[in-house]
């Protein structure tokens, strides 16, 4: 096998790294930047643009420019998150045949895995240009709190991009691998990861290359994008008060506001005041109207206070799940671009009673960890051992729609457990098993991973047949289920294929189509 790369597929930016001469290094893109915007667009004449080229033209081509596809991947179209995104982003989000969200760009409809694949393909090219050889294997990171469907869809994206995805690993665990490299002492660390679209909190125990995740918590729909949105809403109010114009229906103005909001937010991490100056933002009876205002750091803080407080609830739950108190944590590491905000750092410092560790670059540490894991997998070295956990409980729906947990959240993966089921009617020839992931006592309130029917059960009185169902979560956090009728010994293996992810045939078809379309991609 050739070289293996580590890719941090972020909501806002992505980063790729490789282990070179035993040292993990981040690979800069052609522009010299160590991160690449996770943005895809189709410009005029069907030109596919990814990264900075896509981001730069977003204002003039808002509806054919896709940001933050990671917030949609692996979700159902009717989920709250997808419906909220439809009001948030200028591109069109439609319902796909698998009840999944699909994105219309120019005249083409894409699955979220295909959009993510364009970003992964770009990162693959960045690595190939640096290494001077083709790369076909990768470790890709996902938020620890991603469920099975989100993981599977990310894995599909990797395959569509032409990568053999050796493993999907969790972002905080990757960060811990990079942080822990070369550190011998045994310590308990907390990783607070607030990125562009997702928030993860993990508590890990580390000693000499072994990283054991004790607990994880988070929210896969909370991140820098939400901070930007609060500023945009504030600016919309300011503009409407000044001019009487509501800009919500104007995609170009909304894109300009979003860009300005993000810039102001980043400025406010360094300064007390940021200026916002957007000439010709709207047009009223008296002609063009401009937005010129200031936003102070304390104003931003009051706009987002509840979001930051919300992250602390996950922090608290995670520390409790790890069976620890906040003062038993040796080091706190903050990761993800949004954690640069002083208020976030202060909130974390207040909770743990210590300043977060400054020695890691929050934008790069996750990709570095992925590269370390990739290299360990390929070389078969024993120096690095990552023991991660499943973020969500796995179970089935039983009588009355109750959620029966078979694998509890924060169980170390890989893990498999089996359970005996039986029939509820005489001579019942088949049983239906519905698999869910989540924490609610009501099965339907959790994410349904899939359902399957085990048929061919020989006639017998109810309650007599013994059907053993085995649940397996692999090292990538991906779930599969097998069922065996103990009387006949007949076994059926089922990979739980969530409705919102693609079937193997669909992935193959997309790969084939992409090969045909390859001429349309430009570097």
Q: Which residues are catalytic?
A: 8, 70, 171, 193
Sorted by sequence, the CB contacts under 8 Å of residue 191 that are 6+ apart come out as: 172, 175, 176, 179, 200, 201, 202, 203, 204, 333, 334, 335
Binding span for ligand AMP by CB under 6 A among 324-332, 333-341, 367-375, 498-506 = 333-341
First vs last C-alpha separation in the chain: 25
Instruction: Outline where 89-189 has alpha helix (H).
Output: 112-131, 148-160, 171-180
Q: Is 171 in the site for ligand AMP (CB under 6 A)?
A: no
- Report the candidate in 373, 475, 465 with the shortest Cα–Cα distance to residue 416: 475
Sheet order of strands, 47-50 included: 47-50, 40-43, 65-66
Could you say whether residue 10 binds ligand AMP (CB under 6 A)?
yes
Dihedral pair phi/psi, residue 429, rounded to 5°: -95, -15
Nearest residue (beta carbon) to ligand AMP: 224
Q: Which of 13, 153, 480, 514 binds ligand AMP (CB under 6 A)?
A: 13
The answer to whether 394 and 406 are in contact (CB under 8 A) is: yes
Residue 35 beta carbon to ligand AMP: minimum distance, rounded to whole angstroms: 6
CA nearest neighbour of 3 among 14, 13, 21:
21
Least separation, in Å, of the C-beta of 14 and ligand AMP?
Answer: 8
Decide if residue 195 touches ligand AMP (CB under 6 A).
Answer: yes
Q: Is 336 in the site for ligand AMP (CB under 6 A)?
A: yes
d(CA 482, CA 478): 14
Chain centroid to CA 5: 18
Quick note: the x/- pattern for ligand AMP over 244-283, rule CB under 6 A, is ------------------x--xx--x--------------
- The distance of closest approach from Cβ of residue 232 to ligand AMP in the complex, given in angstroms and rounded to an integer, is 12
Per DSSP, the three-state class of 496 is coil
Q: Which of 86, 340, 417, 490 forms a contact with ligand AMP (CB under 6 A)?
A: 340
Could you say whether residue 337 binds ligand AMP (CB under 6 A)?
yes
Peptide linkage before 414 cis (omega within 30 of 0):
yes
Binding segment toward ligand AMP, per CB under 6 A, in 8-16, 49-57, 92-100, 494-502: 8-16
Contact 193, 163 (CB under 8 A): no
Contact 203, 190 (CB under 8 A): yes
Cβ at position 195, least distance to ligand AMP in Å: 3
- Which segment (22-30, 309-317, 332-340, 384-392) binds ligand AMP by CB under 6 A? 332-340
Is 479 a binder of ligand AMP (CB under 6 A)? no
d(CA 195, CA 363) in angstroms, rounded, equals 9
**Which one of 10-18, 22-30, 135-143, 208-216 is the stretch in contact with ligand AMP (CB under 6 A)?**
10-18
Residues in the interface with ligand AMP (CB under 6 A) total: 18
CB under 6 A: which stretch of 11-19, 123-131, 426-434, 493-501 binds ligand AMP? Answer: 11-19
Task: By CB under 6 A, tell whether 303 contacts ligand AMP.
Answer: no
Interaction site with ligand AMP (CB under 6 A) = 10-13, 195-196, 224-225, 262, 265-266, 269, 336-338, 340-341, 363
């Amino acid at each position: 096998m050739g070289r293996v790369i580590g890719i941090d597929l972020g909501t806002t930016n992505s980063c790729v790294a490789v282990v070179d001469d035993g040292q993990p290094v981040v690979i800069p893109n052609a522009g010299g930047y160590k991160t690449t915007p996770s943005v895809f667009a189709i410009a005029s004449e069907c030109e596919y643009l990814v990264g900075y080229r896509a981001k730069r033209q977003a204002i003039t081509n808002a509806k054919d420019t896709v940001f933050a596809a990671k917030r949609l991947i692996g979700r159902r179209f009717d989920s709250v998150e997808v419906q909220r995104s439809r009001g948030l982003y200028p591109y069109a989000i439609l319902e796909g045949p698998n009840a999944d969200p699909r994105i219309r760009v120019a005249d083409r409809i894409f699955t979220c895995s295909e959009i993510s694949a364009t970003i992964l393909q770009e990162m693959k090219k960045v690595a190939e240009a640096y290494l001077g050889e083709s790369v076909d294997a990768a470790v890709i990171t996902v938020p620890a709190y991603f469920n099975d469907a989100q993981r599977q869809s990310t894995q599909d994206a990797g395959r569509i991009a032409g990568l053999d995805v050796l493993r999907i690993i969790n972002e905080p665990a990757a960060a811990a691998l990079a942080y822990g490299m070369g550190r011998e002492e045994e310590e308990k660390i907390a990783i607070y990861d607030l990125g562009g679209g997702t928030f993860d909190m993990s508590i890990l125990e580390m000693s000499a290359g072994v990283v054991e995740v004790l607990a994880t918590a988070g929210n896969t729909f909370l991140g820098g994008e939400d901070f930007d949105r609060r500023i945009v809403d504030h600016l919309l109010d300011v503009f409407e008060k000044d001019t009487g114009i509501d800009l919500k229906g104007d995609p170009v103005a909304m894109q300009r506001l979003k860009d300005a909001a993000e810039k102001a937010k980043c400025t406010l991490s360094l300064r007390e005041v940021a200026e916002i100056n957007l000439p010709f933002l709207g047009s009223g009876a008296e002609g063009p109207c401009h937005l010129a205002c200031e936003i102070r750091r304390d104003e931003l803080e009051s706009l987002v206070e509840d979001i930051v407080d919300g992250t602390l609830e996950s922090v608290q739950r995670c520390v409790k799940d790890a069976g620890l108190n906040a003062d038993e944590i040796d080091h706190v590491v903050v990761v993800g671009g949004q954690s640069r905000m002083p208020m976030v750092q202060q909130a974390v410092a207040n909770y743990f009673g210590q300043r977060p560790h400054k020695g890691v670059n929050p934008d790069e540490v996750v990709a570095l960890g992925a590269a370390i894991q990739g290299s360990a997998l390929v070389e078969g070295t024993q120096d690095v051992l990552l023991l991660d956990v499943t973020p969500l409980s796995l179970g089935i729906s039983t009588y009355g729609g109750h959620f029966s947990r078979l694998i509890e959240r924060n169980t170390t993966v890989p893990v498999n457990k089996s359970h005996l089921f039986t029939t509820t009617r005489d001579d019942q020839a088949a049983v239906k098993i519905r698999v869910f992931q989540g924490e609610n006592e009501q099965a339907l309130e959790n994410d349904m991973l899939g359902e399957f029917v085990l048929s061919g059960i020989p006639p017998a009185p109810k309650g007599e047949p013994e059907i053993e169902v085995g649940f397996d979560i692999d090292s990538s956090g991906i779930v599969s289920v097998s069922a065996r009728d103990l009387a006949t010994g007949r076994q059926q293996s089922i990979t739980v294929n969530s409705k919102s992810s693609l079937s193997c045939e669909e992935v193959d078809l997309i790969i084939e189509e992409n090969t045909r379309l390859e001429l349309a991609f430009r570097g």
